[in-house]
Amino acid sequence: MTIKSRKKNKSNLWYGVIPLYLFTLTFVCGPLIYMLVLSFLSRAEVWGVEKVFTLSNYIKIFEPVYFNTFIESLKLALLTTAITLLVGYPFGYFMAKLSSRGKKVMMLLVIVPFWTNALIRMYGWIIIFRSNGLLDKLLMGLGLTDKPLKLLYSFPAVLVGMVYALLPFMILAIYSVSEKLDWSLVEAARDLGATRLQAFLTITIKLTLPGILSGVVLVFIPSMGLFFIADILGGGKFMLVGNLIRDQVITTRNWPFASALSVLLMILTSLIIWIYRRVTHVKDLEGLV
Amino acid sequence: MDTILELRNITKSFGKTEVLKDISIQIGKGEFLTLLGPSGCGKTTILRIIAGLEEPDGGRVFLNGVDVTEAEPNKRDVNTVFQNYALFPHMNVEDNIAYGLRIRKTDKKEIAARVAQALELVQLSGYNKRYPHELSGGQKQRVAIARAIVNNPKVLLLDEPLGALDLQLRRQMQMELKRLQKRLGITFVYITHDQEEAINMSDRIAVMRDGVFEQIGTPAQVYDLPKTSYVAEFVGNANLIHGRTIEIKDGVASIEAAGGLVKATVRDKQPVPGMEVTLAVRSENIKLYTCSSQTGIKCRLKEISFAGGMQKIFLQLEDGTEVVSSSLGMNLAFEPNSELYMSFDANHGVLVDL
């Protein structure tokens, strides 16, 4: 290929991108704007939406019933994130220290569950948690408890389901940053007089911070909206933001209110990503790619 | 000389590879000792064992008379300048240097004073707030040295600290390091694969090969009187000539090599007549003649090259051995493919591998 024709090709590339932009505009930006507009409109008496501007949808969020849902969701999301971090950090960190063969095996073990639909995997937890289920039988068999614990449809069950579903994201985020960690820096710290713990606190944590934060973002954001886990393992007793939005769309058919809730949720998550960027100065989420 | 560091019968294997085989050495207080050898000979492993970053399979490490073989790295009064510098990227120069002092909870005023002093010592005053990524290779290297010496270690370990620098900077840093070492009086254990660097800087050189010390001695000893053909070639770029001893008289051995007779001074180890020997002679000590004399080996001139004011003449002996002769200036008397005779003074010939 001559230089001239290559040049020509390059300028032609511009046209090739148009369909992509059109697609993004139509299916990403369009719905977002639609949702934003919708959140300022009123609900029609019988069906659909009336084109009357109002802020009542946003005000309604702060009614105790709905506001508590936000608080509950936030509580669950924070707990989920904290637990995945506590479990996922050592997991990802030590995984990065394995031999390349060990890494491959562990990576496979982390990823294999994704090959099954998340919904189906949640039903698996029902078998474990239900009264006289696997866990109860095990605990009673060991003589640790004498009657079923009634774990299913409780807050801990939902929490376990959340942690289970989101842990791989934390592990992969931590692993990805630990893998790139220059271990000689830890050795240098030890050489300069730091104990293992001091070296970990002053060097390792600081240098794996981007991974920690991206793991937090990757876990926290979905855990605000994963409504099916609360449904399956919480038995409808737990109303989270995700459940609320779904119910407002499908059952109550209050689309403007559902939009307002979604906008608030998006603002919340954008805020977290903004903090992440401010702290790490990284544009892409570590471990996401 | 007081011994500050002693390695006694150290062995170490990684998997099935024996990296160190029975390493023993005593290093004196204030000494500049260089571990010289090609990459993969085990130099870095020795350093890591001294620092406590690696545990030996066998043998003991003594620091100032105390057995520290099992001591954690942070419990040893030893600091390392790592090959890649290993500066903490999230800390500025000042915080990097102060790291060791802060970990040991040194008084703040003292930290400030000692950091300033260390910076001055490596001529980086005013760079306190810079981050490692804002520094050049040479500057990073200085920070790494400052970060180590600020702790006043008993022994400073340096793992090819000049490896990543360009030639000019290397030369300059060699001199600076040597001066620094003399001034501070700290014992240096220095790793390099560059024999020139080793000869320039060291009080003693330990030449390593495949996990053993081939020879330990002053630069002059190692350069002029190599004990093995490996040391002769690696340190002195010496030529090796094979032959058989005929007689030993007045401390001089006569050796019959392919194409003639040569003489070599006998030193601490005595060869016996009739023994197969290897003789090392450096290229600058080889003289060439166009006609034969009493001693001299017949050889054929293969090629002449001229670079940096030195003329190198490549010769081949009758048994195929390649020999290089070098001299200052240009000598146009010789023609390629001509037949010549080479000889050298008996005290320039060193019997090796005895």
Residue B317 sits in a domain whose CATH number is 2.40.50.140
* Token digits of residue B78: 């030893």
What pLDDT was estimated at residue A268?
87
For tokens 């419990």, the residue is B75
CA distance from start to end of chain B:
30
- Let me know whether B174 and B259 are in one domain: no
What span, in angstroms and rounded, lies between the C-alpha atoms of B135 and B279? 49
Instruction: Single out the residue in B199, B229, B259 at which a domain terminates.
Output: B229
- Using CA atoms, how far apart are residues B268 and B289, in angstroms rounded to an integer? 31
Q: Express each pLDDT in B191-201 by its tens digit.
A: 999 999 999 99
pLDDT surpasses 60 at B57:
yes
Gap from B343 CA to chain A (nearest CA, Å): 52
- Listed residues B203, B229, B255: the one ending a domain: B229
Percent helix / strand / coil, chain A, rounded to 5: 75, 0, 25
Q: Per-residue pLDDT tens for B77-87?
A: 999 999 999 99
Question: Mean pLDDT score of chain B, rounded to an integer?
Answer: 91
Burial class from Cβ neighbours inside 10 Å (0-12, 13-18, 19+) for residue A3 reads exposed
- Do B99 and A206 make contact, defined as CB atoms within 8 angstroms? no
What pLDDT score was predicted for residue A289? Answer: 36
Give DSSP secondary structure letters for A194-214. --HHHHIIIIIHHHTHHHHHH
* CA–CA min distance A194, chain B (Å): 6
Residue B46 CA to residue B63 CA, distance in Å, equals 14
Average pLDDT over residues B57-62: 95
- Which runs of E-coded beta strand occur in B282-321? 287-289, 296-307, 310-317
From the number of C-beta atoms within 10 Å of its C-beta (0-12, 13-18, 19+), residue B309 rates as: exposed
Query: Are residues B95 and B31 part of one domain?
Result: yes
pLDDT band at B186 (very low <50, low <70, confident <90, very high): very high
Residues B155 and B259 in one domain: no
Rounded CA separation A214/A171 (Å): 11
Provide mean pLDDT across the span A276-289: 62
Cα dihedral B216, B217, B218, B223 sign: negative
Band of residue A2 on the pLDDT scale cut at 50, 70, 90: very low
pLDDT score of A106? 93
Q: Which secondary structure element, helix H or strand E, spans residue A223, and what is its range?
A: helix A209-225
Residue A195: which of B74, B84, B148 has the nearest Cβ?
A: B74
Indicate if B84 and B155 belong to the same structural domain. yes
B333: domain range? 237-352
Q: Is B14 on the interface with A (CB under 8 A)?
A: no
Distance CA B123, CA A192 (A): 22
Average pLDDT over every residue of B229-245:
91
Nearest beta carbon to residue A188 from set B78, B86, B90 = B86
Angle CA A260–A270–A267, to nearest 5: 20
Residue B226 confidence (pLDDT) above 80: yes
Whether residues A185 and B72 touch (CB distance < 8 A) is answered with no
CATH number, domain with residue A102: 1.10.3720.10
Comparing B342 with A283, the larger pLDDT belongs to B342
Q: Is residue A149 part of a domain?
A: yes
pLDDT bin (cut points 50, 70, 90) of residue B61 is very high
Return the residue of A nearest to B53 by Cα: A187
Are residues B62 and B151 both part of a single domain?
Answer: yes
Task: Cite the DSSP H helix spans in B69-194.
Answer: 93-103, 108-121, 137-149, 167-184
Structural domains in chain B (count): 2
Is residue A13 one of the residues assigned to a domain? no
Q: What's the pTM? A: 0.80
The values of phi and psi at residue B133, to 5°, are -70, -10
pLDDT per position as a tens digit, B297-353: 889 999 888 887 888 899 999 888 899 998 887 777 788 888 888 889 888 889 988
pLDDT at residue A184 tops 50: yes
Q: Give yes or no: residues B192 and B276 share one domain.
A: no
The answer to whether residue A20 sits within a structural domain is: no
Please, what is the angle between helix A241-250 and helix A64-95, to 10°? Answer: 130
Residue in chain B lying closest to A195 (CA)? B74
The per-residue DSSP string of A91-155 comes to: HHHHHTTS-HHHHHHHHHHHHGGGGS-HHHHHHHHHHHHSTTSHHHHHHHHTTS-SS----TTSH
Which CATH number belongs to the domain containing residue B134 in this structure? 3.40.50.300
B166 and B260 share one domain: no
pLDDT of residue A9: 54
- Same domain? B242 vs B225: no
Q: Please identify which residue in the block is written with the tokens 């408890």.
A: A145
Those of residues 69-108 in B touching chain A at CB distance below 8 A are 72-74, 78-80, 82, 84, 86-90, 99-100, 103-104
Decide if A29 is inside a domain.
no
Contact A192 B72 (CB under 8 A): no
**B27: enclosing H helix or E strand:** strand B17-28
Average pLDDT, chain A: 86
Among residues B229, B262, B288, the one where a domain terminates is B229
Over residues B206-233, mean pLDDT: 93
pLDDT at B294: 67
CA distance B271 to B349: 14
Taking only the tens place, the pLDDT of each residue in A190-232 is 999 999 999 999 999 999 988 998 899 899 988 888 888 888 8
Q: Which residue is listed with tokens 């926290």?
A: A220
A288: confidence class by pLDDT, cuts 50, 70, 90: very low
Do B257 and B184 belong to one domain?
Answer: no
Which residue bears the tokens 């023994």?
B275
Q: Give ipTM to 2 decimals.
A: 0.84
pLDDT score of A12 more than 70 = no
Tell me the average pLDDT across A17-32: 90
Nearest CA distance, B86 vs chain A (angstrom): 5
| Band of pLDDT at residue A287, cut at 50, 70 and 90 | very low
> Is the CB of B82 less than 8 angstroms away from the CB of A187?
yes
* Same domain, residue pair B213 and B250: no
Q: Which of B160, B158, B106, B95 is nearest to B128 (CA)?
A: B95
Alpha carbon of A204: minimum distance to chain B alpha carbons (Å) = 10
Does residue A69 lie in a domain region?
yes
Domain enclosing residue A208, as ranges: 61-280
Find the DSSP H helices in B185-317: 195-201, 219-224, 229-236
Which of B48, B53, B74 is the best substitution to test chain A (most A C-beta atoms within 10 A)? B74
Mean pLDDT across the stretch B145-161? 94
Torsional sign, CA B83, B88, B93, B94: negative
Instruction: With a cut of 90, say whether residue A18 has pLDDT above it.
Output: no
Element (H, E) at B188: strand B187-192
Asked if the Cβ–Cβ distance from B100 to A193 is below 8 Å, we say yes
On whether both B44 and B151 belong to a single domain, the answer is: yes
Q: Is the pLDDT of residue A5 over 70?
A: no
- What does the pLDDT look like over A94-150, one tens digit per residue? 999 999 999 999 999 998 988 888 888 888 888 888 888 888 888 888 888 887 777
* φ/ψ of residue A237, rounded to 5: -80, -15
How many domains does the structure of chain A reveal?
Answer: 1
With respect to residue A131, please indicate whether it lies within any of the assigned structural domains.
yes
- In the chain, the amino acid numbered A210 is P
Residue with the bigger pLDDT between B350 and A47: it is B350
d(CA B304, CA A59): 94
Same domain? For B125 and B190 the reply is yes
Looking at residues B53-74, what average pLDDT do you find? Answer: 94
Q: Given this model, what pLDDT does residue B60 score? A: 96
Interface contact flag, A193 B80, Cβ < 8 Å: no
User: What is the mean pLDDT of the segment spanning B243-252?
Assistant: 88
